[in-house]
Structure 1
């Protein structure tokens, strides 16, 4: 056994890549070319991976080994897809299908081709066909005891079931696939893809308990392989998502930056766009609206749709009409249950901010139904938060209160620091409307958390709600909220977005304020606020 083969056998991909690079590709047989391609891909040398697999494909074809040629074509299709080369991916998929048709007997390679055809079906939105392909791949893996095919098709069946809204079934398949790769049953290329695909599936339906568990397993797997670069970017993204959830936003932004740097090195533009979108979400919550806009535009330039985060950014910037138009378009577009899980919370927020209570209520009920099907605590919390927000917007603070308390309990259970504080602030708003003196404690506690995580807009909102018990000028607590935001320079649309009011309601409050204070301009009202210690 050569030195390169020894390095490969013990999982030292960098050493194996270096050794085979020194030897040159000309003297390598088809099997060695395949292993060199694997090592090259794992340490981030995409061009060498493609060159080696193309040579291996030709060698296998010339030798009449069509099955191995199909496997090379499969790898080439997969790597082309992940590197933003859909035409090449389609070409290699067709080539693999042609070669399988030349094989007379049944074989595992038919399952690998079915797996590739599954991606084509998903791209076309035909999830029924995708399910059939995933099942065919799994059955072939079982018939021929192909551990790689069983692991990856089990994971694929899980993701397709999620797309169909069969959350319990989908998660069960993902659990099984993860056990297989954690137990070491799959080769590195397949194991890495299963790790990342399963984590992404759990993240899409806000099952953060699984995301945390599986990300820790992925991190251990990555750390055990010297020189590994592939899949470490995904690992950093998932760590960043968990850091954002837990309220450590500085660390989250650093992880996204690390992920982007690794994605640049291996040349996967879609994945870089994902890090830009995640970065934009954090910056928006911090109140860095220009930075968020830049991040979202970068994501869009790379082919990743930054919605609904971009609509929420427009709302925070006072562009409520643009935000609502975007949400209306998104809601009208065909989308499955997984896509709706991601869209609905932001859409509900925009609709309520623009006074669309009835449509928001229907969406909140839909979100709650999806959450109940998933069983994911974070998604159930999001559904409860949405139902409470609808009740509060409709003027029923007492009816909203149980929903917000439930959301706070569940967000706390999932260690979602920021989201738990949002639920607590909402609880405080209900208590304030009900003239309950415990409102101050809830609002102060929420403000403390917002300040800790760096959520300046929400900290400001909490401060505006913490108005003194005895208010000057005959102002109500809500009018003080509006006045404080006027004094801070907010426009009417921005005030409407922050206080979840319609612009018409804000204008009415402002008219009342001017009348009570006997002032005729925003500047004079702001001066009054400063003089009387309201800011």
Structure 2
């Protein structure tokens, strides 16, 4: 097979999104043409994009650098600008900001002396957008996003139009104009759904859309587009970029639906894929999400380790870490962290993600007045944004604050509204938490039978989900003096586990075999519905079994 046939085969493979075949065929053609000039600039761009989509960023950069040099040597300035744009994007994407900024500056210098309205100017505006964003200039970033859309439409460039709509939509959301921002993101997705976008831009739009919806707790859109992204990734078995984001988003939906083991698996897969690309900040998000699930399940040591790992990647997992501090009895430290976060987080989107957790932390610290003020802020934001997840969260916080003020008449309708909204989102853990508030409210109103029914239903859900701390809390509210059905021998084993003894040490002290101790532990985990030795020890402490 000759070089011409190889190039044709590579083009066909690239068009059908068979990235591995395209890359291998072009690499072979390049080697066969080594006696001459090698691949031309167009083929080098295709080779670079195939390498990018396979996750081989070093090979991608090598191909793009060669293509750039060819365009410069032949005096094709606009072609060189295109290569410089992609070199900037790839370097920035893998955390080499200084190198990426250098390539962006070179592209802008090349274009400075080029007359006329050319589409390449629109691509370089993308870097202007991110510069505005870094400076916190949301108004300027919004204006740049609108200009990108305008350039794309003038030149009939679907990639650029979609990118501009994403920039515009995210800035509208950050400015508090959430319905308008979501409408812009929906419009960007039209190009994706119609197959008008190149693969890299389609993946970018998918992830930006889902991330934007996740930030405002628009779980309906998140679920819809995460399913679509998963199908899109599945059609490209060799694809590496975007698959980490896809795993994170799947994990977030699984967490919402309380499928915790599956969610943890997705977050761990996302970390693995991000590590392959050298994307540390995104890996930090995955580790933070993982920590939240572990905290809900009562595995506090593992949750703290996950939050620490997120911080190492440059991601602050809040308010999850503050809620973990409360769970471990370090309430003053949690309150201080929340006050700092509220003081430095002013835009409504990022603030909305903190407020519900802040209410819980402030109430734990008996800061009822401040908690009520934060709950009012969350309610106002939820009404402005109109997203069901935020409205559910706001209703829950209203009920919490009302109960802290011993106002069951105000708490009960808010708690019932939270339970209904979370139920519509198929979020069983959150529904059960709202039921706890319903139970507390009707108890204050003197209806003990209804309170017991609500609390018992919530307790059953928490046990089924393995949400150990929430289950312990409800058992205390019910007044259930329980040993979880443990036998006397199992209680002895549990006490020794809580004291930090290993299986072998327990076997020696109780004159048992290691195998028998392991069997007792299995029974303990099953009866208490706990996932680990740490959670079992927590149960023992919280139920005065020590």
Cα displacement string for residues 257-281 of structure 1 (whole angstroms, at most 9, x for unaligned residues): 1111111122211111111101000
The CA distance in 2 between the partners of 1:54 and 1:165, in whole Å, is 41
2:442 maps to 431
2:505 maps to none
1:459 maps to 471
1:21 matches 2:33? no
**Residue 452 (structure 1) shift:** 1.5
Out of 4, 8, 26, the position equivalent to 2:10 is 4
The CA distance in 2 between the partners of 1:337 and 1:55, in whole Å, is 45
1:58 matches 2:64? no
1:477 maps to none
**Residue 75 (structure 1) shift:** 1.8
The CA distance in 1 between the partners of 2:379 and 2:87, in whole Å, is 42
- Show structure 1 runs of 5+ residues with no match: 472-488, 490-525
Out of 228, 248, 265, the position equivalent to 2:259 is 248
2:532 maps to none
Aligned counterparts, 1:262-273, within 5 A: 262-273=273-284
Cα displacement string for residues 485-508 of structure 1 (whole angstroms, at most 9, x for unaligned residues): xxxx9xxxxxxxxxxxxxxxxxxx
Asked if structure 1 preserves the Cα contact closer than 8 Å seen for 2:185 and 2:209, the reply is yes
Structure 1 runs of 4+ aligned residues shifted over 6 Å read none
Aligned counterparts, 1:254-293, within 5 A: 254-293=265-304
Q: CA RMSD in A?
A: 1.9
**Residue 15 (structure 1) shift:** 1.0
The CA distance in 2 between the partners of 1:107 and 1:160, in whole Å, is 25
The CA distance in 1 between the partners of 2:92 and 2:349, in whole Å, is 22
Q: Which structure has more RCO (C-alpha within 8 Å, separation ≥ 6)?
A: 1
Asked if structure 1 preserves the Cα contact closer than 8 Å seen for 2:345 and 2:351, the reply is no
The CA distance in 1 between the partners of 2:137 and 2:277, in whole Å, is 30
The CA distance in 1 between the partners of 2:229 and 2:445, in whole Å, is 48
**Residue 66 (structure 1) shift:** 2.0
Asked if structure 1 preserves the Cα contact closer than 8 Å seen for 2:459 and 2:475, the reply is yes
The CA distance in 2 between the partners of 1:360 and 1:96, in whole Å, is 50
Out of 410, 413, 420, the position equivalent to 2:431 is 420
**Residue 102 (structure 1) shift:** 1.9
Structure 1 residues 219 and 530: alpha-carbon distance in aligned structure 2, compared to 1, 3 A threshold: closer
The alignment's TM-score, normalised by the length of structure 2, stands at 0.85
Asked if structure 2 preserves the Cα contact closer than 8 Å seen for 1:14 and 1:226, the reply is no
**Residue 334 (structure 1) shift:** 4.1
**Residue 300 (structure 1) shift:** 0.4
**Residue 530 (structure 1) shift:** 7.4
Out of 28, 31, 42, the position equivalent to 2:42 is 31
- Show structure 2 runs of 5+ residues with no match: 1-6, 482-497, 499-539
Asked if structure 2 preserves the Cα contact closer than 8 Å seen for 1:182 and 1:217, the reply is no
2:533 maps to none
**Residue 24 (structure 1) shift:** 3.5
The alignment's TM-score, normalised by the length of structure 1, stands at 0.86
Q: Per the alignment, in what secondary structure is the counterpart of residue 24 of structure 1?
A: helix
Out of 363, 375, 398, the position equivalent to 1:364 is 375
1:100 maps to 111
Deviates more, 1:326-335 or 1:66-75: 66-75
**Residue 435 (structure 1) shift:** 2.0
Asked if structure 2 preserves the Cα contact closer than 8 Å seen for 1:11 and 1:226, the reply is no
**Residue 374 (structure 1) shift:** 1.5
The CA distance in 2 between the partners of 1:79 and 1:358, in whole Å, is 49
Cα displacement string for residues 111-136 of structure 1 (whole angstroms, at most 9, x for unaligned residues): 11111110111111111111111111
The CA distance in 1 between the partners of 2:400 and 2:28, in whole Å, is 64
1:442 maps to 454
Structure 1 residues 33 and 407: alpha-carbon distance in aligned structure 2, compared to 1, 3 A threshold: same
The CA distance in 2 between the partners of 1:461 and 1:12, in whole Å, is 53
Asked if structure 2 preserves the Cα contact closer than 8 Å seen for 1:29 and 1:56, the reply is yes
The CA distance in 2 between the partners of 1:67 and 1:451, in whole Å, is 63
The CA distance in 1 between the partners of 2:370 and 2:356, in whole Å, is 13
2:504 maps to none
Aligned counterparts, 1:14-413, within 5 A: 14-24=20-30, 27-413=38-424
2:525 maps to none
The CA distance in 1 between the partners of 2:405 and 2:441, in whole Å, is 12
The CA distance in 2 between the partners of 1:298 and 1:257, in whole Å, is 12
**Residue 325 (structure 1) shift:** 0.8
